[in-house]
């Protein structure tokens, strides 16, 4: 997840905002740059349930965690599909939903997940 967080912090917010009114070739280039980190995020989402398999959680908490992980998996699949379709605005919207899912999970399961990194543009490397 650290690699994905780093990619999001250094590439996605600025690119998506800056590219929203860009030319078609600039939008295509932004989508190409997003593809790698998006694939990494999709792969990481699929590993989340196994990553906490050893952690003691109540049955209700485990179901909630797995539901959030499934939601993230669906969202990352949507992100990949939108990138593949050349839909920068759709990818941007999906990133907003992904961010909300990540924050929700990290807030609820902070003892398991650790702190969320601030990925705002002001923290870009």
pLDDT classification of 122: cutoffs 50, 70, 90:
very low
Percentage with pLDDT > 90 across the chain: 56
CATH code for residues 2-123: 1.20.120
Ordered by start, the domain boundaries in the chain are 2-123
Q: What is the pLDDT of residue 124?
A: 40
pLDDT-derived band at 123 (thresholds 50, 70, 90) equals: very low
Whole-number pLDDT of residue 23: 87
Q: Contact, 2 vs 115, CB < 8 A?
A: no
Burial class (CB in 10 A: 0-12, 13-18, 19+), 67: exposed
């Amino acid at each position: 997840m650290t690699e994905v967080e780093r990619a999001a912090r250094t590439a996605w917010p600025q690119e998506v905002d800056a590219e929203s009114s860009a030319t078609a070739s600039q939008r295509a280039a932004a989508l190409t740059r997003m593809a790698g980190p998006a694939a990494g995020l999709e792969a990481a989402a699929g590993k989340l349930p196994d990553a906490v398999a050893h952690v003691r959680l109540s049955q209700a908490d485990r179901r909630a965690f797995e539901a959030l992980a499934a939601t993230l998996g669906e969202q990352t699949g949507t992100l990949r599909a939108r990138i593949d379709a050349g839909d920068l605005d759709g990818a941007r919207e999906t990133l907003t939903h992904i961010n909300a899912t990540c924050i929700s999970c990290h807030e609820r399961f902070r003892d398991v997940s650790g702190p969320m990194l601030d990925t705002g543009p002001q923290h870009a490397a």
